[in-house]
């Protein structure tokens, strides 16, 4: 099975098991989170997917804040939380709006379903009869009612959510821009297109609000955390405020698409930090470090299983979860004194070795080199096949082939 076929199979399984998965997650959710999960369990099966029942707690009984000021280390920042935007408040706030989601990829899929589950009026705009059109239909969007060609969807929508790929945003902008009329809101989940306008040629109309909500994770994570009654952290930004309400609208939309809490940034800072992080610790850096450590172990006579377990499995299954839940200091304290001593001694060495790479990386993001590279690649007619070729090559590395066998040995997978 090639990578493309595998991805499609996984997506089909996810859709087919959606209802039972949501019931399982609901059973596991803490009591404080069940109000959101109840929305999912009670969804209507009719074609229009009527809004789910609202939580029992009345909005009138809640003390609604605009935001909280929290200290992050020594810096105070505003934080917006989902508790200040209960479902009934969202529904009232957006009662006259239609969210038009352009594109049904990772973020389009997640954000549209999360909004629909909370009773928002959501339509999807994609190329008629294309792959995304069929996927949206599988998820319950109905042609002529909630699923339209791009141009018609924009005309019907009030909040235009441009969630096409970065390359597609640039290539379709000449058509889309003419349809963004006064009174509409233009929404992005990435500052890429607007910040690097010299390369994308995307300059928003002067007479509309232009906002951003960027979930800090893949669309799959945005969706799964929402279904668990949790919520991903996201950033919001305002590029253009015509109505005087653009920030409030961005925050409310951020909660509607599945955020648990939200902090403020700018379009420019969002895209710089995002491109930098993906290429660094979030994805590129991890693959590079894992591969280097694995290869050195193998070159020194260690077996494939030992090299993988000491490089990837222990990190992903034991140590990284401790860091995520409690912090690096806690993880250090949870390990043996010998491991702690070595980690403390070698961390500065890795910092010293890596910092010049990170400095070059940030400079490459800031000067637009990464943008031009991404656009050039994304505009190739064969970009999907080319990406698959590179990611399939990673899958074929011994390290990750070993990983398939190791993961199958996990006790929780034995019964699958």
Task: Indicate if 153 and 202 belong to the same structural domain.
Answer: yes
Query: Among this protein's residues, is 302 annotated catalytic?
Result: no
Residue 307 lies in a domain: yes
Residue 400's SS3 state is helix
Residue 109, pLDDT > 70, answer: yes
Mean pLDDT over the full length of the chain: 86
Residue 32 structure tokens: 């404080």
- The confidence score (pLDDT) of residue 411 equals 87
- List the catalytic residue out of 190, 302, 326, 404: 190
Residue 33, pLDDT > 60, answer: no
Residue 50 lies in a domain: no
22 among annotated binding-site residues: no
Residue 77 lies in a domain: yes
Task: Indicate if 250 and 300 belong to the same structural domain.
Answer: no
Cβ–Cβ < 8 Å for 102, 160: yes
State mean pLDDT over 274-293.
Answer: 96
Return d(Cα 252, Cα 85) in angstroms, integer: 7
Task: Indicate if 228 and 340 belong to the same structural domain.
Answer: no
- Boundary-marking domain end, from 197, 231, 265: 265
**Which CATH number goes with the domain that contains 293?**
1.10.1040.10
**Concatenated DSSP letters of 199-216:** HH-----TTSEEEEEEES
**Concatenated DSSP letters of 26-85:** HHHS-GGGHHHHHHHHT---STT-PPPPPPSS-GGGS---S-EEEEETTEEEEEEEGGGS
Residue 183's SS3 state is coil
pLDDT in tens, 306-348: 999 999 999 999 999 999 999 999 999 999 999 999 999 999 9
Of the pLDDT bands very low, low, confident and very high (cuts 50, 70, 90), residue 415 is: low
- The confidence score (pLDDT) of residue 27 equals 33
* Containing structural domain, residue 396: 280-414
Residue 19 lies in a domain: no
Q: In terms of Cα–Cα distance, which of 214, 158, 151, 167 is closest to 186?
A: 158
Task: Indicate if 250 and 297 belong to the same structural domain.
Answer: no
Residue 56 lies in a domain: no
Share of the chain above pLDDT 70, in %: 84
- Boundary-marking domain end, from 215, 230, 265: 265
Residue 13, pLDDT > 80, answer: no
- Its pTM stands at 0.79
278 among annotated binding-site residues: yes
Number of domains forming the structure of the chain: 2
Residue 185, pLDDT > 70, answer: yes
State mean pLDDT over 102-125.
Answer: 97
State mean pLDDT over 364-379.
Answer: 94
274 among annotated binding-site residues: yes
259 among annotated binding-site residues: no
Task: Indicate if 253 and 317 belong to the same structural domain.
Answer: no
- The confidence score (pLDDT) of residue 275 equals 94
Return d(Cα 113, Cα 49) in angstroms, integer: 10
- The confidence score (pLDDT) of residue 32 equals 35
pLDDT in tens, 34-82: 344 444 433 333 333 433 333 433 333 344 567 889 888 889 999 999 9
Of the pLDDT bands very low, low, confident and very high (cuts 50, 70, 90), residue 382 is: very high
The per-residue b/e assignment along 142-166, b for 16 or more CB within 10 angstroms, e otherwise, is eeeebbbebebbbeebebbbbbbbb
Comparing 391 with 6, the larger pLDDT belongs to 391
- The confidence score (pLDDT) of residue 25 equals 35
198 among annotated binding-site residues: no
Task: Indicate if 230 and 306 belong to the same structural domain.
Answer: no
Task: Indicate if 138 and 233 belong to the same structural domain.
Answer: yes
Residue 317 lies in a domain: yes
Of the pLDDT bands very low, low, confident and very high (cuts 50, 70, 90), residue 416 is: low
- Boundary-marking domain end, from 213, 231, 265: 265
**Which CATH number goes with the domain that contains 135?**
3.40.50.720
Share of the chain above pLDDT 90, in %: 78
Of the pLDDT bands very low, low, confident and very high (cuts 50, 70, 90), residue 414 is: confident
**Concatenated DSSP letters of 219-270:** HHHHHHHHHTT--EEEEEEEEE-SSS-HHHHHHHHHHHTTEEEEEE--HHHH
Residue 169 lies in a domain: yes
pLDDT in tens, 211-252: 999 999 999 999 999 999 989 999 999 999 999 999 999 999
pLDDT in tens, 398-410: 999 999 999 999 8
State mean pLDDT over 106-133.
Answer: 96
State mean pLDDT over 149-174.
Answer: 95
Task: Indicate if 312 and 388 belong to the same structural domain.
Answer: yes
Residue 23 lies in a domain: no
Task: Indicate if 395 and 299 belong to the same structural domain.
Answer: yes
């Amino acid at each position: 099975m090639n990578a493309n076929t595998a991805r499609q199979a996984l997506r089909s399984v996810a859709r087919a098991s959606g209802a039972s998965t949501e019931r399982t997650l609901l059973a596991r959710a803490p009591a404080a989170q069940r109000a959101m999960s109840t929305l999912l369990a009670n969804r209507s099966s009719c074609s229009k997917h009527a809004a789910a029942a609202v939580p029992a707690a009345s909005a009138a009984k809640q003390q609604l804040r605009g935001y909280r000021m929290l200290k992050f280390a020594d810096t105070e920042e505003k934080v917006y939380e989902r508790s200040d935007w209960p479902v009934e408040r969202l529904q009232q706030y957006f009662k006259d709006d239609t969210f038009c989601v352009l594109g049904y990829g990772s973020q389009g899929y997640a954000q549209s379903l999360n909004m629909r589950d909370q009773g928002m009026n959501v339509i999807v705009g994609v190329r008629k009869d294309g792959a995304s059109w069929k996927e949206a239909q599988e998820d319950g969007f109905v042609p002529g009612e909630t699923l339209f060609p791009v141009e018609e969807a924009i005309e019907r929508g009030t909040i235009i959510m441009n969630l096409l790929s970065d390359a597609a945003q640039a290539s379709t902008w000449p058509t889309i821009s003419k349809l963004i009329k006064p009174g509409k809101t233009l929404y992005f989940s990435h500052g890429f297109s607007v910040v690097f306008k010299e390369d994308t040629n995307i300059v928003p109309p002067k007479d509309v609000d232009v906002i951003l909500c960027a979930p800090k994770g893949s669309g799959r994570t945005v969706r799964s955390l929402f279904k668990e009654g949790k919520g991903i952290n996201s950033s919001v930004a305002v590029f253009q405020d015509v109505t005087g309400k653009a920030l409030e609208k961005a925050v409310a939309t951020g909660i509607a698409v599945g955020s648990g809490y939200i902090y403020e940034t700018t379009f420019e800072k969002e895209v710089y930090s995002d491109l930098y992080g993906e290429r660094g610790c979030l994805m590129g850096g991890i693959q590079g470090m894992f591969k280097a450590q694995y290869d050195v172990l193998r070159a020194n006579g260690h077996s494939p299983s030992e090299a993988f377990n000491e490089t990837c499995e222990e990190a992903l299954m034991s140590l990284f979860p401790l860091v995520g839940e409690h912090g690096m200091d806690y993880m250090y304290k949870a390990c043996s004194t010998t491991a702690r001593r070595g980690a403390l001694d070698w961390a500065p060495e890795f910092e010293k070795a890596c910092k010049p790479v990170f400095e070059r990386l940030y400079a490459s993001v800031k000067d637009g080199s990464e943008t031009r590279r991404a656009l050039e690649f994304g505009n190739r007619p064969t970009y999907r096949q080319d990406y698959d070729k590179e990611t399939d090559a990673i899958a074929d590395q011994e390290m990750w082939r070993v990983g398939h066998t190791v993961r199958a040995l996990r006790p929780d997978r034995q019964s699958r």
